[in-house]
Chain A
Amino acid sequence: MHTPQTGIDMQELARRIDALRPTLLRLAQLQLRNPAWAEDAVSETVLAVLQGAQRFNGTSQLKTWIVGILKHKVLDQLRLHAREPTLADTGDDGEDDLDELLFKGNGHFREMPEHWADPCSELQRDQFFAVLEACLDHLPNRQGRVFLMREWLEIDSRVICQELDIAPTNLWVQLHRARLRLRECLQSNWFGAAPR
């Protein structure tokens, strides 16, 4: 294979892909919540990257380009498995005790919500992202998938309903619970935790 002037050196590309692989796998797993599907998505991404290397425009960031491809491959996996019971599983998010935890019977907050300091300052950003990912990982599978479809794949709610063949009200409930749960997890493990 010849090396095009505007393309990228194939050996260098292979090295960069190798370095990125753990990140790609982590992101795919966070979204798909199934190691086999995540592996498939990453393998297909690597293949597409190698096949499309000639078209890579050296001025755009390599990681941006590769993660963009990964997002498409991850969505393909979600579509492929959309009708499987593992994806439509229930029982992991049926409870409403989060509401109970936060509100009194009359609908008032049990406790005053705390002031949250900006978690993304240079000094603590990486630590915060680690906690955030742990909290995302902790979401029940169904909630986690729709939440990351919104917040990582950045798919419109309407389109998520079509892709997963679920009713909007069902989606709203899942997302509402995911957001409440994430808020609670971050309150306990970051914002309200002992000073670092």
Chain B
Amino acid sequence: MKIPNSCRDISGLLLAREDRSLSFGERLALRVHILTCRACQRFEKQTLTLRGALRAWRAHQDHDDPPDSR
């Protein structure tokens, strides 16, 4: 298997991580690349921000009663 090492590959892993668990090799490649790549560090932060935002959105939709029905 080809070792993922371009920013395209690594950002792909960062997105895939939201939906499946990465293999050991994938996690290793991710760590090594991200250590030295500012762009992928930023991209990773974006995916984490989006993860939190989606969680907040879901909680808002599923649980908060709109103020007018309190």
A residues contacting B by CB (< 8 A) are 16, 19-20, 23, 27, 61-64, 67-68, 99, 102-103, 106-109, 112-116, 118-120, 125, 128-129, 132-133, 150-152, 154, 157, 171-172, 175-176, 179-180, 182-183, 186
Query: Is B6 a contact partner of A172 (Cβ separation < 8 A)?
Result: no
List residues of chain B with CB within 8 A of the CB of A125. Answer: 56, 60
- B-side interface mostly: helix
Size range of the chain B interface in the assembly: 35 or more
Do A107 and B6 touch across chains, with their CB atoms under 8 A apart? yes
B19 touches A175 (CB 8 A): yes
- Number of A-B residue pairs with CB-CB distance less than 8 Å in the complex they form: 102
Additional 19 contacts, C-beta under 8 A, given A23-B66, A63-B63, A176-B12: A20-B69, A67-B63, A99-B8, A102-B8, A102-B11, A107-B7, A107-B9, A108-B6, A112-B38, A119-B49, A120-B52, A120-B56, A125-B60, A129-B57, A132-B57, A133-B57, A171-B19, A175-B18, A186-B50
Contact residues in B for A106 (Cβ distance below 8 Å):
6
Contacting residues, chain B, for A180 (C-beta < 8 A): 15
A99–B7 Cα distance when bound, in Å, is: 11
Binding site for A on B (CB under 8 A): 6-9, 11-12, 15-16, 18-20, 38-39, 42-43, 45-47, 49-50, 52-54, 56-58, 60-66, 68-69
